[in-house]
Amino acid sequence: MISGPVRKFAACLCASSLLYTGSLLAEEVDPHFAFLKSLEGRWAVTTGREHLPLTGIEAAIPEVIWEYRTSANGHALTETIMVGTSQEMFTVYHMNGGRVEGTHYCAFNNQPRYVAATPFNKGGHALVCDGHVSNAESHDENHMHAIEHELLDDGRLRINAPGFHNGALIEAPDLYLTRKDED
């Protein structure tokens, strides 16, 4: 039997979660965040794989996977890249004051923070480092400086993620991903 205080706590928790879901409406109106959420699922790299930092046995894996998953009652989206490899990294995107922000947790052991940087167009957007890179001496240290997501007319996802090293932008090759059917 559930005691009185536990029962009251559970009732409050259920009621607050029902009330809290109303704040999702503002986030779903933001086209950047809605676009990111539309990517939910698993994607396989089909072009550009040779540019990924996979070595040894990992270079032979049949598919390199990107995964997008919403959490926190729809308030956050996690992008996990190179799933299951030693280079696996993730970025958590969320709304903050009416704009999309993200923090990338990098294999370089730093965490650049991103903000939406371009006006949204129907196919995608870009997020750029806002100058804050946790666990780095300065912004000039090696880090993933930006990320572009573009959903192409043929259904593929184009990703470009230029870096920053010694105070200079390092161009990155495009990666192309195809959505995997859910089994």
Task: Give the CATH number for residue 97.
Answer: 2.40.128.20
**Strand 163-165 relative to strand 157-160, pairing:** unpaired
Asked whether residue 9 is domain-assigned, the answer is no
Q: What is the mean pLDDT of the chain?
A: 84
Give CB contacts under 8 A, 24+ apart, made by 62-65. 65/180
Burial class (CB in 10 A: 0-12, 13-18, 19+), 119: exposed
Structural domain of residue 134, as residue ranges?
Answer: 24-179
Asked whether residue 5 is domain-assigned, the answer is no
Asked whether residue 3 is domain-assigned, the answer is no
Count: domains in the chain: 1
Mean of pLDDT values over 142-165: 93
Q: In what order do the strands lie in the sheet with 168-170?
A: 143-144, 163-165, 168-170
Asked whether residue 32 is domain-assigned, the answer is yes
Percent with pLDDT over 70 in the chain: 84
22-33 tens-digit pLDDT: 444 444 578 889
Asked whether residue 155 is domain-assigned, the answer is yes
**From residue 165, how far is each of 38, 93, 108, 144, 153 by CA, in Å?**
32, 24, 12, 9, 33
87-130 tens-digit pLDDT: 999 999 999 988 899 999 999 999 999 999 877 777 788 899 99
Which pTM does this prediction carry?
A: 0.80
The residues near 70 (Cβ < 8 Å, ≥ 6 apart) are: 37, 40, 76, 77, 78
What is the per-residue burial (b if ≥16 Cβ within 10 Å, else e) of 98-109? Answer: eebbbbbbbebe
Confidence of residue 85 (pLDDT cuts 50, 70, 90): very high
CA distance 28 to 32: 9
What is the per-residue burial (b if ≥16 Cβ within 10 Å, else e) of 156-168? Answer: bbbbbbbbbeeee
Helix (H, G, I), strand (E, B) or coil at 137: coil
Asked whether residue 12 is domain-assigned, the answer is no
- CB–CB of 115/96 below 8 Å? no
